[in-house]
Structure 1
Amino acid sequence: MSCKTLLVHLDDSPYSAARTEFALELARRYEAHLIGLYVVCQDPTPPLFLHGEGVWAAAHEAQRDIARENAQARFLAAGERAGISVEWRAPAGPAVETAVLHARHADLLILGQYDPEEPSSYIDRHFIDDVVMSSGRPAVVLPYAGAVRSFAESVLIAWDGSRESARAMADALPVIKAAKFVTVATVQRHPSDGKPTGLDVAAWLERHGIQAGFADTALPAGGISTGILLLNMLTDLHIDLLVMGAYGHTRIQERLLGGVTQTMLQSMTVPVLMSH
């Protein structure tokens, strides 16, 4: 995969500007075209105290038009300042279906973690995972807390041997080729008594010019989850990008990694490259 077309999700939240700057920097790195896709929450409920619902709807639509025009102006101005080829899109339609359709025309998506304390960052209940699961494209999801000061210099690949993790690792190759440190992490329910599980993965990466270490970790007693263990590893190893497969909403679909997808979407501390 080559990164020649990037797509960044834009909304009315205060995090949209940071996503734009991050996406512009990636576009500069890969000499890529950047699409700004403006998709916001649909169908708000009118306040109960209003009797004239039609009047409220007209006023709300006017506010949405102003917000969209302001977002467009900010995005295009940022692209011009950066000297990057950019394209603005603000299609109508249901949020998830619309985002999925446009995401399929890009090589890499840039999305933002939902902040429960910031209503304007809400798009749909499972917006990020539905887009990743349905679009067939990898996505870098940015945490809402803290600025992204470095990216893909120290990378952790979460490997469980599944199709999803293999897809994520392959999709991440263009992003991690310039990394200074790459670690393949496997989490075992019981200590391994053979060769490290990540050894073959590290050998495959080496043939792509990527030097990687590997770490087999057994889940400790006490009920700590795989997701929490990975979050701890991100901090301990000073990771600035986690690469992992994306799994569905149910326990059956999530298989070996359990609730890792949801744990990361809720508690991520660094950018996460997800792929299904």
Structure 2
Amino acid sequence: MTQVIACIDGTDVSPAVCDYAAWASLRLTAPLEFLHVLDKSEYPTESNLSGNIGLGSRESLLDELAALDEQRGKLALEQGKLMLDAARQRAISQGIENPGSRQRHGNLVETLTEMERDIRLLVVGKHGSHLSQHIGSRLENVVRTLHRPILITTARFKTPERFMLAFDGSATTRKGVEMIASSPLLRDLPGHLVMVATDSAANREQLSGSQATLKQAGFDITTALVEGDVESVLCDYRYSHAIDLLIMGAYGHSVIRRFLVGSTTTSLIRNASVPILLLR
């Protein structure tokens, strides 16, 4: 059975990740599981320190350092278990029945790849300090590797009340429209389809067709076709219409989806004060 998977790491965004994951789990009526991955690069299962100390060093010192590393790893595992238990209790208090938890020692991307078949929605937090290049190395690798919807949260939870899809007329965003129409995640929320492109009959027709698809599914949809800089237009529109959830297609060759391989996306995700749902 597919489920909502929430990645927590004990940083200040983890409570918001828990809350957005619980919100999504209830909306989707899908099971929720919390995941904590202890990075093997930071906490190796075995330590070989012989190359770190010069000739003549005592063997007992090497043994002592190895024991300290082992103890550090055990403490990190125990801390992770406590975090998972706290996340479960937080979700239960919000109405989630029997949320699961999973702890792994390894690599986050590899772990999620192994779990991909079971993921309906992945929820991860945005760490501003880790966004110096692209959208953060681990987050970028997750987005590039997984073919599942990914919700990137902000540090504070706010129940989404209206959403905006950055629409470019591509096959990916048309598929995104179909995904939104068929999913209960955003049902009953007013939505906006915003296309940053030349005002032409062809573009208006594409917007109108996607609007009709969502209206047929019961959505109240507003469309906008605006010329200008993509990031500026989307940010200004989001602000002026009080949008609290931005939806984008992940990767590709269109103007909007090229965001995710360049500085524009880095800026958009870093500066966004709302969560971003990436569709694949």
Q: Displacement of 1:105 after TM fit? A: 0.5
Match of 2:115 in 1: 102
Cα pair distance change 1:199/1:141, threshold 3 Å: same
**CA distance in 2: counterparts of 1:268 and 1:42, whole angstroms:** 31
SS at match of 2:105: coil
**With structure 1 as the length reference, what TM-score do the two structures score?**
0.79
1:208 match = 217
| Cα separation, 2, equivalents of 1:78 and 1:32 | 17
- The runs of 5 or more residues in structure 1 that have no matched partner are 119-123, 220-224, 248-252
Range 55-64 or range 226-235, more displaced: 55-64
**1-side partners of 2:39 and 2:144: how far apart?**
19
Q: How far, CA to CA, are the matches of 1:255 and 1:261 in structure 2?
A: 13
* Per-residue deviation, 1:116: 0.2
**2:153–2:276 CA contact under 8 A, matched in 1:** yes
Q: Partner letter of residue 187 of structure 2? A: K
Q: 1:100 deviation in Å?
A: 2.7
Secondary structure in 1 matching 2:200: coil
* Paired residues for 1:242-261 under 5 Å: 242-247=246-251, 253-257=252-256, 258-259=258-259, 261=265
Q: Contact between 2:35 and 2:103, CA under 8 Å: does it hold in 1?
A: yes
Shift of 1:31: 2.8
Mapped contact 1:8–1:35 kept (Cα < 8 A) = yes
Paired with 2:136 and 2:245, the residues of 1 have a C-alpha distance of 25
1:157 has 2:169 as partner: no
Determine if the alignment matches structure 1 residue 141 to structure 2 residue 152.
yes
**How far did 1:57 drift?**
2.0
Name the aligned partner's letter for residue 38 of structure 1: H
Spell out, residue by residue over 1:36-86, the C-alpha distance to the aligned partner (whole angstroms, 9 max, x if none).
Answer: 11124441399xxx9655244223213312211211221232244334231
Q: Deviations over 1:241-272 (max 9, x none)?
A: 1111011xxxxx54322325433332221111
Is 2:79 the counterpart of 1:67? yes
Within-5 A mapping of 1:11-90:
11-44=9-42, 53-81=65-93, 82-90=95-103
Q: Distance in 2 between matches of 1:168 and 1:262?
A: 22
Normalising by structure 2, report the TM-score: 0.78
* Structure ID, larger Rg: 2
Aligned mate of 1:129, from 122, 135, 140: 140
State the alpha-carbon separation in 2 of the partners of residues 103 and 178 from structure 1: 28
CA contact 2:40–2:107 (8 Å) conserved in 1: yes
Identity value in percent: 19
Higher helix share: 2
Residue 192 of structure 1 pairs with residue 200 of structure 2: yes
Unaligned runs of 5+ in 2: 45-51, 54-61
Say how many residue pairs are matched: 251
Measured at CA, do residues 103 and 80 of structure 1 come closer, stay the same or move farther in structure 2, by a change above 3 Å?
A: same
| 1:269 to 1:80, Cα distance in 2 relative to 1, 3 A | closer
Name the counterpart of 1:236. Answer: 240
Give RMSD over aligned pairs: 2.8
Match of 1:92, SS state, is strand
